[in-house]
C-alpha cells in the first residue's frame, strides 16, 4: 500500500495506522515509508532493517533530527482506523503514528528547510531494548543520528516535554531463617522483616528537582514482591522489587548509590537501569523551537528515547499530537486538530530564518 505524503496530514495518519505494524512486524510500513521517501529527490535515504533514515544535505549551519517509531503494541480489535467527529481512532493513532505522519509530511513538503533535517523512522520501540531500532542505529551508525538538536515525536498532547526521567529496577532482599510454622520462634520470618522495606517506601517523599528550569517529580515504588516456601514453613527470603524514577540531575551511578543508601541493611541488586536526559533547552536550535511553538514546556515524567540522543550528546525534547494517557488502550485515539496544529508549528519553526554554516 503506497503512502501519499502530499495528502492531508489527518488522511496520512489514517493511512499509516491502517498498515499494521506490531513490534517485530513493521516491514510493510517500513517498505511504504521507504518507497515514499525515495521518491523525494531532495532526500538521501538509507535503510537498516525496518528503520528508515532520510536526510537533507543543504549545508545549513545546524542539523536537527526528527524521529518516530513505526511499531505499535499488539492489536486489540482496534483496526482499521475510524473517524468520529474530531477524533481518529485506531491502534497507534496516539502512540505514535500521528507524530510519524507529521514528520513525513514535513519531509515531503519542506524541501528547503532553514536547518538540515534528519528524519528517522525506527522499529521495535515498544518491546525489549535490545531490539530497539534507534538503539541499534546508535551503535552501528551513530553518524546518522548526529545533530544539534532532536525532536522525538512521542505523544505529549501537543506540549513540549523536555528531557526524560531515568528508570531503575532493583531487588531489595530481606533474609531470615527457615523453621516449621508450628515452632516459628526457632526461625526468623523474612516476609515480616520485609515490612521494614515497605516502611521505607511508605515514608519516601518524592524529590522535585528543577533541571534547566523544569521541575521533575521522582518516584520510588514497590512493583513486585515475592517470598514463601510452603504453607507450613517460615520463609527465609522475601524480595521486594522497586522501581526508581529519577530526575536528570542524577546519573545511573548516582541513582544506584541513592537506592543502596535508602535501603541500608538490606541486600540490593540492580536488575535494570536507563539513563535520564537533560532538557537541553539552552541550545539555540532548541530555544528557537520553543520560541516558535508558543506552547507550554514541561518536564517529561517518564523515560523515552530522548535518552539515547542525550548519550550521543544531542539535546532532545518530546513533542507530538498524541495524548499519552491514551497510549496502548483499546479505544486509543488522537484529536485531529492537534495533528494539524503540530504540523503547522513544526513547519513555522523549519521555515524561519536560515541557519548559516560557520
Please report how the helices 336-350 and 284-293 are oriented relative to each other, as an axis angle in degrees rounded to 10: 130
| Same domain, residue pair 327 and 207 | no
The DSSP code for 185 is G
Asked if residue 357 belongs to a domain, the reply is: no
- Rounded CA-CA distance 201/174 in Å is 14
Residue pair 26/71 in contact by the 8 Å Cβ criterion = yes
- Rounded CA-CA distance 160/344 in Å is 15
- Rounded CA-CA distance 69/119 in Å is 11
Strand partners, 51: 48
CATH number, position 337: 3.40.630.10
Give the pTM.
0.87
| Same domain, residue pair 196 and 60 | no
Q: Which domain holds residue 228?
A: 166-274
Asked if residue 355 belongs to a domain, the reply is: no
| Same domain, residue pair 179 and 157 | no
Could you list the pLDDT tens digit for every one of the 358 residues in the chain? 689 999 999 999 999 999 999 999 999 999 999 999 999 999 999 999 999 999 999 999 999 999 999 999 999 999 999 999 999 999 999 999 999 999 999 999 999 999 999 999 999 999 988 899 999 999 999 999 999 999 999 999 999 999 999 999 999 999 999 999 999 999 999 999 999 999 999 999 999 999 988 999 999 999 999 999 999 999 999 999 999 999 999 999 999 999 999 999 999 999 999 999 988 888 888 888 999 888 889 999 889 999 999 899 998 999 999 999 999 999 999 999 999 999 999 999 998 777 766 5
| Same domain, residue pair 233 and 248 | yes
| Same domain, residue pair 13 and 133 | yes
CATH number, position 187: 3.30.70.360
- Rounded CA-CA distance 58/67 in Å is 19
| Same domain, residue pair 137 and 45 | yes
- Rounded CA-CA distance 260/327 in Å is 33
Residue pair 150/66 in contact by the 8 Å Cβ criterion = yes
- Rounded CA-CA distance 34/48 in Å is 11
| Same domain, residue pair 205 and 326 | no
State the catalytic residues: 71, 125
| Same domain, residue pair 37 and 139 | yes
Please tell me the total count of domains within the chain: 2
What would the grid cell of residue 317 be?
A: 525534547
Amino acid at each position: 500500500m503506497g503512502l501519499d505524503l502530499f495528502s492531508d496530514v489527518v488522511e496520512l495518519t489514517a493511512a499509516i495506522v491502517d498498515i499494521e505494524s506490531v513490534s517485530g512486524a513493521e516491514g510493510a510500513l517500513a517498505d511504504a515509508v521507504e518507497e515514499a521517501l525515495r521518491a523525494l529527490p531532495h532526500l538521501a535515504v538509507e535503510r537498516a532493517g525496518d528503520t528508515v533514515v532520510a536526510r537533507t544535505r543543504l549545508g545549513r549551519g545546524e542539523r536537527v533530527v526528527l524521529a518516530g517509531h513505526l511499531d505499535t503494541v499488539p492489536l486489540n480489535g482496534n483496526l482499521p482506523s475510524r473517524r468520529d467527529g474530531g477524533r481518529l481512532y485506531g491502534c497507534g493513532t496516539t502512540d505514535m503514528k500521528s507524530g510519524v505522519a507529521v514528520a513525513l509530511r514535513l519531509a515531503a513538503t519542506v524541501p528547503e528547510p532553514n536547518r538540515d533535517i534528519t528524519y528517522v523512522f525506527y522499529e521495535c520501540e515498544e518491546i525489549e531494548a535490545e531490539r530497539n531500532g534507534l538503539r541499534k542505529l546508535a551503535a552501528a551508525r551513530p553518524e546518522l543520528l548526529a545533530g544539534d538538536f532532536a525532536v522525538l515525536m512521542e505523544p505529549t498532547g501537543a506540549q513540549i516535554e523536555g528531557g526524560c526521567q531515568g528508570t531503575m529496577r532493583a531487588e531489595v532482599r530481606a533474609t531470615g531463617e527457615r523453621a516449621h510454622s508450628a515452632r516459628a520462634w526457632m526461625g526468623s520470618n523474612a516476609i515480616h522483616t520485609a515490612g521494614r522495606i515497605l516502611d521505607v517506601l511508605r515514608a519516601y517523599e518524592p524529590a522535585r528537582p528543577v533541571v534547566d528550569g523544569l521541575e521533575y517529580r521522582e518516584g520510588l515504588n514497590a512493583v513486585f514482591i515475592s517470598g514463601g516456601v510452603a504453607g507450613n514453613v517460615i520463609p527465609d527470603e522475601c524480595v521486594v522489587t522497586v522501581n526508581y524514577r529519577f530526575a536528570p540531575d542524577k546519573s545511573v551511578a548516582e541513582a544506584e548509590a541513592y537506592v543502596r543508601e535508602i535501603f541500608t541493611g538490606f541486600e540490593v541488586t540492580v536488575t535494570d537501569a536507563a539513563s535520564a536526559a537533560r532538557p537541553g533547552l539552552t541550545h539555540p536550535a532548541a530555544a528557537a523551537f520553543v520560541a516558535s511553538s508558543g506552547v507550554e514546556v514541561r518536564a517529561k515524567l517518564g523515560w523515552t528515547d530522548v535518552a539515547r540522543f542525550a548519550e550521543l550528546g544531542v539535546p532532545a525534547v518530546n513533542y507530538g499530537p498524541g495524548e499519552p494517557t491514551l497510549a496502548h488502550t483499546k479505544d486509543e485515539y488522537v484529536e485531529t486538530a492537534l495533528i494539524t496544529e503540530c504540523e503547522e508549528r513544526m513547519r513555522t519553526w523549519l521555515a524561519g530564518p536560515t541557519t548559516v554554516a560557520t
